[in-house]
């Protein structure tokens, strides 16, 4: 596999995402983590903030870079000569919608989708739950990378990222 794209909102990136990036990076020559700009859902972090966090998080990988896209993912793939989308599958509940999107993306542009089964350590994890738990004062250490934890603390005006 040459270049693969890992698309998402990453609001914020979680350790589950990071696990998928690492495993995709072990298979592909290059992995592009692509942040969706035109998301309808309200976000906690701006696209610029999410990209900044992601850039820090993927810095240790030699073959992972961050970009953003607007509109259809397959248009981004075509513009950049990308033939494969890589996504994590956490549970059967993800499957229906992911299958639909994968089939639609193939129908639209013959872009393949490859699924990596999420590490069971992170199978319950989502950005939405992390935001909810953190917003109400819960401890999300170990669920998101340190860089995301620090930004969550800043955004929510709290301190958990210092250690302990």
Write out the residues near ligand PNS by the rule CB under 6 A: 7-9, 36, 72-73, 101, 104-105
From the CB of 82, what's the least distance to ligand PNS, in Å? Answer: 13
Residue 41: active-site member: yes
Residue 127: active-site member: yes
Question: Considering beta carbons, is residue 128 or 146 the nearer one to ligand PNS?
Answer: 128
From the CB of 88, what's the least distance to ligand PNS, in Å? Answer: 10
From the CB of 32, what's the least distance to ligand PNS, in Å? Answer: 13
**Cα 20 from chain centroid (whole Å):** 8
**Lookup: tokens for 81:** 């000569």
DSSP 84-123: EEEEEE-SHHHHHHHHHHHHHHHHHH--EEEEEEPPGGGT
From the CB of 102, what's the least distance to ligand PNS, in Å? Answer: 8
* 3 state SS of 153: helix
Catalytic residue among 50, 87, 127, 151: 127
Cβ pair 32, 61 in contact under 8 A: no
Interatomic CA distance for residues 69 and 121, integer angstroms: 29
Residue 90: active-site member: yes
Question: Considering beta carbons, is residue 7 or 145 the nearer one to ligand PNS?
Answer: 7
Question: Considering beta carbons, is residue 112 or 160 the nearer one to ligand PNS?
Answer: 112
What phi, psi does 66 have (nearest 5°)? -115, 140
Neighbours of 120 (CB within 10 A): 8
Residue 39: active-site member: no
Catalytic residue among 2, 23, 39, 41: 41
Catalytic residues: 17, 41, 90, 127
């Amino acid at each position: 596999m040459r270049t693969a794209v890992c698309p998402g909102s990453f609001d914020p990136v979680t350790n589950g995402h990071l696990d998928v990036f690492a495993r995709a990076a072990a298979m592909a020559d290059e992995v592009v983590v692509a942040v969706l700009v035109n998301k309808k859902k309200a976000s906690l972090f701006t696209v610029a903030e999410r990209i900044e966090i992601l850039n820090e998080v993927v810095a240790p990988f030699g073959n992972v870079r961050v970009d953003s896209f607007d509109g259809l993912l397959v248009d981004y793939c075509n513009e950049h000569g990308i033939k494969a989308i890589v996504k994590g599958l956490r549970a059967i509940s993800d499957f229906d919608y992911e299958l639909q999107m994968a089939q639609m993306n193939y129908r639209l542009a013959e872009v393949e989708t490859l699924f990596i089964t999420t590490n069971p350590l992170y199978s319950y994890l989502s950005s939405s739950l992390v935001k909810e738990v953190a917003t109400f004062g819960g401890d999300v250490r170990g669920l998101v990378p340190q860089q995301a934890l620090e930004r969550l603390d800043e955004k929510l005006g709290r301190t958990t990222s210092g250690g302990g």
